[in-house]
Structure 1
Amino acid sequence: MYKNFCKYFGVNHKAINSTVKNISSSMHGLEELQKAFGGQSFSKGLYRIHTPDGAEKWNSIVTEAFPEFRRRIICFGYDWLGRQFALDNQRVENGQQRVLMFEPGTGEVLEIPCNIVQFHEEEIPEYTDSCLASEAFKEWISKNPNEIKISEYVGYKTMLFLGGEDIIQNLEKGDMDVYWSICSQLIHKTKGLPEGRVIKNLGIYE
């Protein structure tokens, strides 16, 4: 399992056998992923995988921003932009939960039509830019060569839903917890506003 993922990122493949008996069969591949790669970063921070404790922490953070997903998701990974990937227990096909991507900088949630094994074995190796914005990452890392730490993100200085531009010049590196906290407040404060609405005097609390 995850041989293509290992080959793509140039890491040694480890044969991991499942030992947790009560894990849902609809989450096949989650335990193996966490045991083999939990807490690890790939390609200077392009993609990172949560530990089980990290997953619990980020389930809470993500559903604070997107409360309609409470008791519905399990986060398993995140990319350099701070976008969180999770399993969705309300979208099950062929007995396997499908993947969601939570984008704090736009306030959007994207449904990815694959399970966790397919995401790592097929989607990331074959469609890296679509999954992880790898071309923008290459541009960023060419100008900012230091590896993005496990707790860091590269996100928008001005959020897209506040009128920011989707360009490299509108990106900065920072603490991912703080970024998600700020984005969560902005998502709630701007939810339901018509597109193009000018926002003034928006208070943010840390």
Structure 2
Amino acid sequence: MSTISATDLLRRSGGTTIRGGLYRIHTSTSAGRADALVRAAYPEFTSTVSCFGHDWLGRQFSLDARRGPAHEPTVLMFEIGTGEALEIPVPFSEFHDIELVDYPGAALAAGFFETWLESGQPSPSPDQCVGYRVPLFLGGDDDITNLEMTDLDVYWSLLGQMRVGLSGASEGTAVARVDLGDMP
């Protein structure tokens, strides 16, 4: 896939599921929904979001036009469970062929996925993810007992609102309200 653009990837391989749900390539429709969810949760990245895939934990992978040359964007991983946006240290052209092949543990938490499956839990469907019951940015534990199957869009909507609402808040700040009015 090293010579393919993100647009071509979605057109040719959109909807592809890899390793039983470990990673999925977005369709054009799901990419548009993911872009909207990421922009709402990470307003500081509004102009640079262009999602092309997501993993079993609901983490969205996007082109990062801010880094690298225009013809060779790098990759950002939006990890809503931690509230972080992480720079993947490879250009998009190497993401699927090198990063996901050589470093599936770092890029996709592959070992954690295997632990989830070995505990008798199912693999998420394309519209689901395995999310944190208590997000890590709210003090949740990063272990199997803090995970549950959930709707991907609902998970992102709720945690995105919390992330934005808590930006700049000090530790211990209470969450007063979460708006469920626009839920899919």
What are the within-5 Å matches in structure 2 for residues 38-117 of structure 1? Answer: 38-93=14-69, 95-117=71-93
SS in 2 for 1:199: coil
TM-score by length of 1: 0.82
**RMSD value over aligned CA atoms?**
1.7
State the shift of 1:143 in Å. Answer: 1.6
The one-letter amino acid of 1:97's match is: P
Paired residues of 1:162 and 1:199 also in contact (CA < 8 A): no
TM-score by length of 2: 0.91
2:164 to 166, 175, 188: 188
Gaps of 5+ in 1: 3-17, 19-27
* Count of residues paired in the alignment: 180
2:155 to 179, 190, 197: 179
The 3 A distance-change label for structure 1 pair 144 and 117 is farther
Paired residues of 2:38 and 2:49 also in contact (CA < 8 A): no
1:204 to 169, 172, 178: 178
How far, CA to CA, are the matches of 1:80 and 1:142 in structure 2?
Answer: 15
Among the aligned pairs, what percent are the same residue? 40
SS in 1 for 2:65: strand
The structure that has the greater radius of gyration is 1
Gaps of 5+ in 2: none
Which residue is equivalent to 1:151? 127
Paired residues of 2:23 and 2:54 also in contact (CA < 8 A): yes
State the shift of 1:114 in Å. Answer: 1.4
The one-letter amino acid of 1:50's match is: H
SS in 2 for 1:64: helix
